[in-house]
Structures are given as structure tokens and as C-alpha cells.
């Protein structure tokens, strides 16, 4: 089903940007997991609009309501249904978009595929749909943390042509405090300030920019991933490229690895502290589609926000030439608010694969 993600641990999301509410149903969650609305709210607050002067000014509290599946602070093993009501809808800002297609937006493809669309804020194609992903992903992150001490950190490494120095973090695992220190969520202070100024500059011109998010995960066990079609990096790629505005995914050395020879790129095995480890991590924690116990490292590329406050040539529903200026409230750069979404989608993939690994390899005794 197109609105369902995951096999054993799954989410089904629903709702539109300017409809009454957005929600998610989480299925397959183990019973007795301690979880509260406050924990989920904390992650939704990282994603919500209006949190700084470099994001959309739409004012939404994004207050989560848990409707089922949790009793006295613990999951019951039944479907967990969560809802967030939309309170600051302004559908009137999209009246012109009923008749004309925004350049590079999903307006044209949705209209052509279905013969009907909700033009208010993009409807189902809006990034507001990701509320359900973050709510479900928060539960997945809690499972990973309690079961294996797994930590996830996503942060911005590039906005437009401003990139964090490759050696800025060294081997250090970035802290939450460093990432959340600025609204742009780049853990390198000088780069973060330059990114913020760039976003403000393009916003003043009615324009937008994109960027890159890197995600690192540590303390993963060996064995997650199910070759050949459900390789760990393949499911991560599907998860990340299902996010609005994404245009690229790479793991480990990624495209830069093509510039190396095998003798330069290979991660040599060694015995370190009684475990088989790799001396380097150009594989990004995945070999043969299976996690190898090293730090999982991947990056996601986001394009500039399609709706900009500039007049651009386009066509109407009948294909006639016209001009359209974007209206409404939009992020000049979607990347800062996408950081918790990337973490959530990664957590959903990892919990699902952990369950599948356990089901195949730990259920039967022969």
C-alpha cells in the first residue's frame, strides 16, 4: 500500500496539509514499551513550522494526541493511533494554484495521475505529511535506544554551496547539544552561521536553496539487512527518497568512492578488543547489504523548495501559458526541519530490519 511503510514494524500515514488533521497508525510495536505523548511531542517540536526565522512562519503547535495502543504509559502491542490537528490553515493562499501548476512541484503529476488533487498547500505531497513519520519514528528510536543503546544523529553538512569542513567533527560522534545549538542544525558553529545568513539572503529575494543531511548511527548489531532485494542500504534509500524534496542518497564513501582504487577503498578487517572490526569505514557500516557493526553513515540531498515568491512562467490546467507567483508560507530551505524526519525514517527502517533478522535467525532451534 502506498501510504504504508515497513513490514513487521510499520506506519500508515494519512491527512493533508490544510485538512482537519494529520495522523499515523503504528503497527507491530512490541508491548510494554514505555512511551509518553511528551516524548513524541519533543520530536514533533523539532519538525514543526514557525520554530525560527529561517523556517516557514506558519504557526502550528503540532500537539499530538495518542488515541490507542498505549495504556498507563506503556504500549499494549495493539495498533498505536496518533493525531495532530491542523489549526492554522490558510487555503485561500492557494486559489491561483487550482488552475496553474507550480514549476517543479507535484501539482502537475498528481493532477495527471489521479484527475483530481487538493491544491491547498500541496495536499498529500506537502512536507506536513511527515508529522506521522516523526511520531512513528519516535517510537522506533525508543525501541532502538532501550534494546541496544543505538544512537542516531542527523545534521546538516551543506546548504547551497556552503559546506561544513570534512574534518570538522573528526571521529567524534556529534552531540545533540551541538546539533541543536543553532536553528540550521549544523554542529559546526562557523559554518552554521554562514548557512543561516545564506538562507536569510535568498528568502529576502523570494527564492530558496537546498542542502545535504548526513546521518550517523552507532551501536548497531551485525546482521541487519536481507539481501538481495531488501538490502539495508536499499531500504534506507527508499525511506529517504520517499521524503518530499529529496533528490539523492549515498552511503559511506558514496559517489566519492568512485575516485578511489580498490586498494584505497577497501576496509581492512582487524581484531580489535576481541571483535572483528574494520580499520576504516568507507563502507558506511554496510557490506553485502548487511550491517557489519561499524557506524552506519549515509547522506541525503534535498532540492530547493519548489514554491518560491517569484513570478515564473508555467501553464494552466488546459496547457495554456500563464505566469504564477507562489503564495502562502513556505520554508526558504527545507533542510533544517528535515533533520528529525531523516532520523525518524532511519529508525523505522532499523527496527523493522531488526525484527526481521530476529524472526529468521532467532526463532527456531535446530
Q: Which residues of the chain have pLDDT under 50?
A: none
Whether residue 227 is contained in a domain is answered as: yes
Assigned C-alpha cell, 211: 542542502
Distances 289 to 61, 172, 204, 263 between C-alpha atoms, Å = 40, 25, 44, 21
Angle at 140 between CA 136 and CA 142, to 5 degrees: 115
Where are the strands (E) in the chain, listed by range?
Answer: 4-5, 10-15, 21-27, 64-68, 70-71, 74-75, 80-85, 151-159, 162-163, 211-218, 246-251, 269-272, 275-278, 286-287, 290-291, 296-302, 311-315, 321-325
- Asked if residue 264 is part of any domain, the answer here is yes
Q: Is residue 366 part of a domain?
A: no
The domain containing residue 322 runs over which residues? 4-361
The domain that holds 280 is classified in CATH as 3.60.150.10
- Give the model's pLDDT for residue 89: 67
Assess if residue 161 is contained within a domain.
Answer: yes
User: For residue 202, is it within any domain?
Assistant: yes
pLDDT in tens, 48-100: 877 777 887 777 889 999 999 999 999 999 999 999 999 876 666 667 788 89
pLDDT of residue 171: 83
Q: Is residue 249 domain-resident?
A: yes
E strands in 149-289: 151-159, 162-163, 211-218, 246-251, 269-272, 275-278, 286-287
Cell numbers that stand for 125 in this block: 505531497
- Residues 80 and 68: their CA atoms lie apart, in Å, by 5
| Residue 41 domain flag | yes
Judge residue 192's burial from the number of C-beta atoms within 10 Å of its C-beta, 0-12 exposed, 13-18 middle, 19 or more buried: buried
Give the span between the Cα atoms of 215 and 339, in whole angstroms: 9
Beta partners for 275?
272
Q: For residues 344 and 154, what is the distance between their CA atoms, to the nearest angstrom?
A: 10
- pTM exceeding the 0.85 threshold for the entire prediction: yes
**pLDDT of 122:** 78
Q: What's the number of domains the chain is made of?
A: 1
Amino acid at each position: 500500500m502506498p501510504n504504508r511503510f515497513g513490514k513487521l514494524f510499520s506506519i500508515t500515514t494519512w491527512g493533508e496539509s490544510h485538512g482537519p488533521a494529520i495522523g499515523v497508525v503504528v503497527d507491530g510495536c512490541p508491548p510494554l514499551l514505555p512511551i509518553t505523548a511528551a516524548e513524541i511531542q519533543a520530536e514533533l517540536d523539532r519538525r514543526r513550522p514557525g520554530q525560527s526565522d529561517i523556517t516557514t512562519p506558519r504557526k502550528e503547535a503540532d500537539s499530538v494526541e495518542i488515541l490507542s495502543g498505549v495504556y498507563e504509559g506503556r504500549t499494549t502491542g495493539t495498533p498505536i493511533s496518533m493525531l495532530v490537528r491542523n489549526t492554522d490553515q490558510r487555503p485561500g493562499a492557494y486559489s491561483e494554484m487550482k488552475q496553474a501548476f507550480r514549476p517543479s512541484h507535484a501539482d502537475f503529476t498528481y493532477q495527471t495521475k489521479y484527475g483530481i488533487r487538493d491544491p491547498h498547500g500541496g495536499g498529500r505531497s506537502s512536507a506536513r505529511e511527515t508529522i506521522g513519520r516523526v511520531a512513528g519514528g519516535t517510537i522506533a528510536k525508543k525501541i532502538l535506544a532501550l534494546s541496544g543503546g543505538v544512537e542516531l544523529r542527523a545534521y546538516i553538512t551543506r546548504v547551497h554551496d556552503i559546506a561544513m569542513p570534512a574534518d570538522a567533527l573528526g571521529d567524534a560522534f556529534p552531540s545533540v547539544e551541538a546539533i541543536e545549538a543553532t536553528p540550521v542544525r549544523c554542529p559546526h558553529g562557523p559554518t552554521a552561521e554562514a548557512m543561516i545568513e545564506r538562507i536569510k539572503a535568498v528568502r529576502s529575494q523570494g527564492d530558496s536553496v537546498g542542502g545535504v543531511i548526513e546521518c550517523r548511527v552507532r551501536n548497531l548489531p551485525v546482521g541487519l539487512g536481507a539481501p538481495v532485494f531488501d538490502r539495508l542500504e536499499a531500504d534506507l534509500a527508499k525511506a529517504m527518497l520517499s521524503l518530499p524534496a529529496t533528490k539523492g542518497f549515498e552511503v559511506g564513501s558514496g559517489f566519492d568512492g568512485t575516485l578511489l582504487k580498490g586498494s584505497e577503498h577497501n576496509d581492512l578487517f582487524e581484531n580489535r578488543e576481541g571483535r572483528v572490526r574494520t580499520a576504516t569505514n568507507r563502507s558506511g557500516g554496510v557490506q553485502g547489504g548487511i550491517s557489519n557493526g561499524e557506524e552506519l553513515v549515509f547522506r541525503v540531498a534535498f532540492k530547493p523548495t519548489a514554491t518560491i515568491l517569484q513570478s515564473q512562467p508555467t501553464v494552466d490546467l488546459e496547457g495554456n501559458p500563464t505566469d504564477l507567483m507562489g503564495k502562502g508560507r513556505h520554508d526558504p530551505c527545507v533542510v533544517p526541519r528535515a533533520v528529525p524526519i531523516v532520523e525518524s525514517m532511519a529508525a523505522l527502517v532499523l527496527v523493522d530490519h531488526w525484527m526481521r533478522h530476529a524472526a529468521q535467525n532467532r526463532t527456531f532451534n535446530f
